[in-house]
Each structure stands twice: as C-alpha cells, then as structure tokens.
Chain A
Amino acid sequence: MRRPNAIQKDTEEITTVRDLTGVFESLATTQIAKVKSKVEMSKEFFNLLWGKYSQIRFDPDSRLTGRQTVDNGRNVFVMISAEAGLSGDIDQRLVETVLSDYNPKTTDIIVLGSHGAQQLLQRGITYKRYFRVPESDRYIDVSPVITAIQPYHQAKVYYEEYVSLGVQGIKTIDLIQTIQAMSEEASDSEDIISEKDTIFEPSLEEIAGIMETAMMSLAFSQVILESGLAQEASRFNAMSVSKDRATELVRLYNMEYHRAKRSENDRRMREVIISLKRKRRVNSYVK
C-alpha cells in the first residue's frame, strides 16, 4: 500500500487538473453562446445585403456571376481546422474526410488552422496554402482566403459542423451554392434600383461585384464561426470527460488515503501494544 503522503500529493495534483478542466468547460460554454449570437447577427446582415443586391441585380440570371471570369481548371478543398489542440478527435475526423475525397492530380488543399496543417503533414500530404483561422470579436477578415480560392474552378469547404452540444459532424459545402441557399432564405425586394433613378459611385457593376465578394466572405465567415462552434463543443465534451474522470480519481484517491492513514494508525497502535506487552513481560521477570 502507498504511503498517505504520496497519495495526498497525487490527490492535490488531480484536484488541480479537475479545477482547470472545469475552467475550460466554462470558457467553452461562454464561447458557444457568443458564437451563436454572432451567427444570428451575420444572418440578419446577409438578408439586408441580399435585399439591396437583388434590387440592383434584378435579373436572377445575372446574379453571382463574378467568379466565372477566372478559372485555372483545378479544384480546391478548403479545410477549416482548429488553431490549437485540446479539441477532442474532431480535427482527425475532418482530415480523414478530406483525404477520402482528395485526388492530388486535380485538387489542391488550402488549410486553415495549425492543428489541421500538422495532421496533414504527419500523413505526408502537402497543402498549397496555409492560413491562420481569422479570429476577432468584431471583424473576421477572410479576404486573403477568398483571393486564394478565386482562381479555382470549384471550391469545396470542409468544416466541423455544430449539430448539438453533444454531437459535431463534418460538413462539405460549395461556397457559391451556399450563397444561393442563403439567398433563398432572404426575400428578394420588389423594388428595382437602376442607373436611371440612382447615383452609383463608382458604378453599378463595381458595387455589385463588391457585394458579391462581401456575400462570399460572409458565407465563409459563417462557416468559420460554425466550425469554431463545433470545436468549442468538442472541447467542452473532452473537458467534461476529463473533469468527470478527475473527479472520480479524486474520490478514489481520498478513499485510498483514508485507508492508508487508518492502516498506518493500526500499525502504530499494534507496535505500541506489542512494546507495552514486552515491557510488562520484562517487568514481571525482574520481579
């Protein structure tokens, strides 16, 4: 049996781990609430922007055509992973999904997040570009990523989807199709804005192009947010499991400590009784 002092030391260490995982768990919960509210705000923003865009691009066939001017004939997979570890196994599942569809002859990989980049390199897969996951409370700048994917024929985004706190999946989307899907939720305005009755500075075409890029950035930002939400949820789950395990260990160590302490007390008591008996025996011989 281990000595009580050694058990007490282990218990203190595990208690620290339990407290730390508890803090991580609370942080993940706060982050989840924050990201959810951001997603809602960005949806409202998209609906307003789409409303104005549909007023100047009133012919549906002329909408979202800006990307078709450049095409290098290759496809690109954009993989959005976590920037750091401690997010459970979700990045591993993401990499496995990407690699199951990946053909290096036709497709390049652009990776966001150092954790995913590391996992690709460990598997001997080289990626075309790496970006840090853009992160800010007020402004997510995805323009470098949008610029990088614009020359490609098709851009598929692989990311971690938040289904619920307990369930996170891997999702694949085409950015242009996503914007079209988002626009179906937003209503087209019946008003038409044309150059006849409105002043455009610099020009209608340029403004429409900027709005298209903005909507693509917005769709991509939402994907990044959702991915972050899934990572936080995965982290929350991993931390919950660790906290439960640490709590269980603390309970077991406490029991072991009390047993060891009682056993030590019993041993000392036996030693005292034996020495008393010896002393009595010696005294009786002397008499």
Chain B
Amino acid sequence: MNNATLLKVQARAPFELYFAGEALSVSATNKVGRFDILPGHADFFSVINPDSDIVIGTDKEDININVSNGIVCAKDDEVLLFLNI
C-alpha cells in the first residue's frame, strides 16, 4: 500500500498508549456531529464529545476506543488524539 494514502496516528491517554501507527481513517464525534479524518484532510482541531467512541480504521482491522473526553489534532496527515484528559 502506498504510504501517501495513510495517516500517521497516535492515540494516547496520560497513562496509556492506545494506538501508534498508520491508519486509513479516524472517526469520532464532536458537538457538530460524527466526523471522519481521511488522508488529505484540512488542518483540524476539535474537542471530542464526552463518553463517545473513536474508531481508527487500519488495513487489518478497526480499532474502537471508548473515551471519557479528548482532543483531536490533524495536520499534514498526522493525527494526534489526546484522550481521557
């Protein structure tokens, strides 16, 4: 698979690393609604809704993470998820 079509994702809580690696997509929910971050997405900063699910789609499986709250930052196909803060 061509790396240009992948996101570099890190999903971390203060005491836990949920995921670090390449992914096809990141889906979460904010005040506006459900959103997906795909490669080529505009630079984006958002607060994730409390007690919601995040789905990190990889070429092998979808990783589901239930979080109490969080912030997502996407810039230049790099996605950082600060969870349970």
Contacts and interface: CB of A to CB of B under 8 A. Distances in A.
Interface of A: 38, 41-42, 44-46, 48-49, 52, 56, 137-141, 191, 193, 197-202, 204, 206-207, 210-211, 214, 217-218, 221
Contacts of B75: 191, 193, 198
Nearest to A213: B85
Interface of B is mostly: strand
B58 to A, nearest CB: 21
B84 A202 contact: no
12 contacts: A41-B16, A45-B15, A52-B82, A138-B15, A140-B14, A193-B43, A198-B75, A204-B45, A207-B45, A210-B71, A214-B85, A218-B85
A202 B46 CA distance: 7
Contacts of A138: 13, 15-16, 84
B85 A140 contact: no
Given A48-B80, A217-B85, A197 B43 contact: yes
9 nearest interchain CB pairs? A214-B85, A198-B43, A201-B46, A42-B14, A38-B15, A45-B14, A199-B44, A139-B84, A200-B45
Interface residues of B, number: 24
Nearest to B41: A199
A201 B85 contact: no
Interface in B8-32: 10, 12-17, 30-32
A207 B47 contact: yes
A258 to B, nearest CB: 53
